[in-house]
């Protein structure tokens, strides 16, 4: 599946009243530029993912291959992981049928919040106007990818957060 998305820091956390987060735990099985990712959603959904960039100069478009896993398979592969991260994800509706995926990181990255919007086509991507609570566009910044963030602390990425 071709994924087309934009990513932002969060300037101000939006109201989350009545929204239930999805607990996400993800691990990376290698240190390559496009590593295999293991992901657990809550306690009941597991998958193995490979993201393949469409272009080395554009981090916003990737081919994404997801393979569902059984809990036992996830546990076996988890032992091979090099690094990981935890976050809470909230899904918030946006105009034009879009939705924001707000990630609030936990553990060593506590304090970091980012938001992504996936687009069904190029026209909706071009029309998109970020809501007021969205911060700086970090779509093309490699440090902002989860594969880079895994295993890092907030202190380690703070210089990137302060950059304009």
Which pLDDT belongs to residue 164?
66
Q: Say how far apart CA 62 and CA 22 lie, in whole Å.
A: 23
Alpha-carbon torsion, ordered 134, 137, 141, 145, to 10 deg = 30
Residue-level length of the chain: 164
Q: What CATH number does residue 22 fall under?
A: 2.40.320.10
Per-residue pLDDT of the chain (164 residues; tens, 9 = 90+): 778 999 999 999 999 999 999 999 999 998 887 889 999 999 999 999 998 888 877 888 888 999 999 999 999 999 999 999 999 999 999 999 999 999 999 999 999 999 999 999 999 999 999 999 999 999 999 999 999 999 999 999 999 998 86
The number of folded domains in the chain is 1
> Which positions are annotated as active-site residues?
28
- Of 78, 75, 142, 150, the closest CA to residue 109 belongs to 150
Residues 128 and 63 sit within 8 Å (Cβ to Cβ): no
Domain span at 156: 2-162
pLDDT at 92: 97
- Cα angle 128, 132, 110 (rounded to 5 degrees) comes to 105
């Amino acid at each position: 599946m071709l994924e087309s998305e934009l990513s932002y820091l969060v300037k101000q956390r939006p109201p989350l009243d009545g929204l239930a987060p999805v607990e996400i735990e993800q691990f990376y099985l290698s240190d390559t530029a496009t590593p295999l990712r293991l992901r657990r959603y809550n306690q009941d959904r597991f998958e193995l993912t490979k993201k393949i960039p469409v272009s080395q100069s554009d981090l916003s478009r990737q081919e994404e291959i997801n393979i569902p896993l059984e809990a036992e398979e996830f546990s076996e592969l988890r032992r091979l992981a090099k690094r990981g991260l935890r976050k809470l994800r909230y899904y918030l509706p946006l105009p034009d049928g879009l939705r924001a995926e707000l990630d609030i990181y936990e553990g060593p990255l506590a304090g970091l919040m980012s938001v992504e919007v996936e687009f069904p086509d190029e026209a909706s991507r071009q029309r998109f106007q970020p809501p007021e609570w969205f911060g700086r566009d970090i779509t093309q910044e490699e440090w902002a990818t989860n594969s880079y963030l895994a295993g890092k602390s907030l202190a380690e990425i703070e210089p990137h957060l302060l950059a304009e």
